[in-house]
Amino acid sequence: MSLHKKRTAAFTLIELLVVIAIIIILAGLLYPAYQSVQSQAKRTHAKNDLTQIVTAVNAFYTEYGRYPTSLTPDTTATYGPAGANTNDLLFNELRACHLENGVLTDPSCSAAGVLNTRQIVYISPPAVKDPSQPRNGIGIPGTGAPVPVGQFWDPWGTQYNVRIDGDYGNSVVNPYGASANAGPDPLQSGVIAWCWGKGQTQDTDVKAGDDVISWQ
């Protein structure tokens, strides 16, 4: 019988440090790719939301022969941070917010709609997961929640912007003007929607920036 014990296979300290270094290098190489995929997923999500918003407003027009706004002209009929009106005022109508026995049927509504008299639900976004840091949905009551509730937030935490042809002239003012690679000004459309992306402020060049728009 051998008096020598078998050597147990194990990492030396140097080998362990080499493995850790390799993992760190690979993580550093993969992280930008992960960020790119995540950013593209958010842009796709936002584009889908914008398409649904425009479709909902147009469906309301088809049903009632008017847009879900009492505001005119175009520069006034703008909802979201690009305008003077929080977008919950629009989504109260599109989501068919209403009262029953004097109480709002949905606590995520900021008020009852007055134009959607048939109470047709044209859009039904999910509620945000965190009311204090709203993203990807309708703001809900909760600790630290922005006031009013009922605003529709994009994936980066800013309200969606919506502009409606409030004076029924078959055009709306392009929020980017005619020199920001965002199409002509005015736009021949009854409704447009857009958001400001990761930067959360309006870009001066849509192609070079991260804004997402419904009309391109």
Cα–Cα distance for residue pair 94/97, rounded to 1 Å: 8
Asked if residue 139 belongs to a domain, the reply is yes
Q: Is the pLDDT of residue 14 over 60?
A: yes
Asked if residue 47 belongs to a domain, the reply is yes
Asked if residue 12 belongs to a domain, the reply is no
Q: Is 133 helix (H, G, I), strand (E, B) or coil?
A: coil
pTM: 0.85
Asked if residue 179 belongs to a domain, the reply is yes
Q: Provide the pLDDT confidence category of residue 38 given band limits of 50, 70 and 90.
A: confident
Q: Provide the pLDDT confidence category of residue 10 given band limits of 50, 70 and 90.
A: low
Q: Is the pLDDT of residue 145 over 70?
A: yes
Each residue's pLDDT tens digit, 146-189: 777 999 999 999 999 999 999 999 999 999 999 999 999 999 99
Q: Is the pLDDT of residue 1 over 60?
A: no
Residue 62: give the domain boundaries: 41-213
Nearest C-alpha neighbor of 149 from the set 177, 109, 179, 95: 109
Asked if residue 158 belongs to a domain, the reply is yes
Average pLDDT over the chain reads 91
Nearest C-alpha neighbor of 171 from the set 186, 182, 181: 186
Asked if residue 34 belongs to a domain, the reply is no
Each residue's pLDDT tens digit, 128-141: 999 999 999 999 99
Q: Which residues of 23-42 are buried (b: 16+ CB within 10 A; e: fewer)?
A: eeeeeeeeeeeeeeeeeeeb
Number of domains in the chain: 1
Look up residue 119 and give its two tokens: 């109470």
Which of 37-41, 65-69, 87-91 is predicted least confidently?
37-41
